[in-house]
């Protein structure tokens, strides 16, 4: 793990951030709980988490999540970390958000206390929402969400399923399979499975009733016609 000595001076902070490939930016406006607009006009979608909706439609605890993000980030300097993907389909930057520069990017205590994505999950403002290949912190987010759910914190006070789409348990299994793919037999593509093993849905609306976050290409319900962006994942939500 790469560690740096983080002194409380602007010059040293900038040097430490550079060593960790973190980009310092200013937040101009909070769009909702998991999306912000920067002072240079770029929009940023937080990686690995999903807050309840509060813009075009409103979900329970959506306004609370949006207000919390606004109170923590609007007009503030933050540090952005890229996982794997640069942008999503809407040309928003996909980033991990740090409130202060850590000394160790994978230290759990620093993730808990300095990373805003993690803070949203720990305080019950967001659920884990994993989209491979951006899975660097997904295990932490799942762990933190289970803590929040156990304590009925925030959106979990409304029940075991929270108040918005997420993948607290479902995609954890898929992530483990992906991370261990070199030591495990590869799954057959859905197109090559016998017809009696396939799950056939007429469209994404029907599929999401069973699999709210879509399915990967090795899933029995996957159909190429539902994978419009050809990313080997059908009917995923943005």
How do residues 178-190 score in pLDDT, each as one tens digit?
444 443 333 334 4
Identify the pLDDT of residue 170. Answer: 65
**pLDDT higher for 201 or 142?**
142
Reply yes or no on whether the pLDDT at 192 is more than 50: no
- The ranges of the chain annotated as CATH 2.40.50.90 are 10-184
Token pair for residue 232?
């080997």
Q: CA 44 → CA 47, 50, 63, distances in Å? A: 9, 13, 19
CATH architecture of 10-184: Beta Barrel (2.40)
Mean pLDDT of the chain: 85
Segment 220-230 shows an average pLDDT of 83
Segment 197-213 shows an average pLDDT of 80
Reply yes or no on whether the pLDDT at 65 is more than 80: yes
Segment 21-46 shows an average pLDDT of 98
Q: At what angle do helices 170-179 and 138-150 cross, to 10 degrees?
A: 150
How do residues 126-177 score in pLDDT, each as one tens digit?
999 999 999 999 999 999 999 999 999 999 999 999 999 999 976 444 444 4
Which of 49-53, 165-169, 217-221 is modeled with the greatest confidence?
49-53
pLDDT band at 222 (very low <50, low <70, confident <90, very high): confident
Q: What DSSP line would sit under 85-135, residue for residue?
A: -SB-TT-PEEEEEESS--SBTT-HHHHHHHBHHHHHHHTTS-EE--BTTB-
Segment 49-66 shows an average pLDDT of 95
Identify the pLDDT of residue 57. Answer: 85
Segment 53-76 shows an average pLDDT of 95
Q: Which residue has the tokens 């009925």?
A: 152
Q: Report the percentage of the chain scoring pLDDT > 90.
A: 64
pLDDT band at 9 (very low <50, low <70, confident <90, very high): low
């Amino acid at each position: 793990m790469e560690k740096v000595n983080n002194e409380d001076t602007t010059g040293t902070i900038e040097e430490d951030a550079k060593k960790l490939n973190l980009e310092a930016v200013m937040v101009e406006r909070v769009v909702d709980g998991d999306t912000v607009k920067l002072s240079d006009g770029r929009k940023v979608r937080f990686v690995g988490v999903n807050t309840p909706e509060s813009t075009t439609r409103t979900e329970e605890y959506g306004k609370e999540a949006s207000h919390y993000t606004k109170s923590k980030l609007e007009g503030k300097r933050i540090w952005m970390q890229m996982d794997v993907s640069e942008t999503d389909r809407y040309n928003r930057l996909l980033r991990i958000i740090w409130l202060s520069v850590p000394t160790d990017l994978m230290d759990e205590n620093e993730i808990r206390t300095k990373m805003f994505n993690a803070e949203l999950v720990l305080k019950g403002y967001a659920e884990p929402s994993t989209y491979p290949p951006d899975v660097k912190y997904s295990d932490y987010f799942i762990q933190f969400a289970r803590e929040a759910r156990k304590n009925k914190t925030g959106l979990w006070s409304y029940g075991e399923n929270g108040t918005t789409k997420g993948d607290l348990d479902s995609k954890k299994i898929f992530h483990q399979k992906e991370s261990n793919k070199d030591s495990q037999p590869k799954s057959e593509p859905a197109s090559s499975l016998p017809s009696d093993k396939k799950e056939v849905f007429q469209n994404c609306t029907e599929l999401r009733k069973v699999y709210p976050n879509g399915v990967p290409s090795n899933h029995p319900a996957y159909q190429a016609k539902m994978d419009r962006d050809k990313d080997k994942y059908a009917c995923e939500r943005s």
